[in-house]
Amino acid sequence: MIKNHEEFNEILLAKRNSGSVTCSFKDMNQFVNTTTNEIAKELFLKELGLKPKRIKGNWKQIDQSIAKKILEYILSMDMAYDIELETKPLANMLSNYFLNEFLSNAIYYTNGDFDEDDGFFRLRGWQSITDSTFDTGVLVIDKNNIGILWAEDND
């Protein structure tokens, strides 16, 4: 069982053996002068060195069940080559940990379009927020926290 964010990040960085992964949580109170979730998202992503202007106004709001599928996908597969990653056996546990850090009324966002053909869930298209060939993940906001779990892969 994962004890805290530090241990969670250690597992992510050690086991996702392809590309890179960004995971961060922040207290929404640090955006006290921010009036909208859009502004909070932009500031949060800038702090992480991501490129929010590329997707501004085009985030796709999703429900928690789709967020979980996306997280399990990025923790299981290399997006460039559809190769299973070392994190695949841990994908369910890791995605549950991340999602459970937020309140039940949290709002979930992604940049991607996904297909689920023949039982395979995969990225079909996306609006990049990095310089990598492939990038997607989930950004979550509730009244207390904002967080992101994002993967990047290159071909």
How many other CB atoms are found less than 10 A from the CB of residue 100? Answer: 8
User: For the whole model, what pTM was predicted?
Assistant: 0.94
pLDDT in tens, 63-105: 999 999 999 999 999 999 989 999 999 999 999 999 999 999 9
Which phi and psi (to 5°) does residue 142 adopt? -130, -175
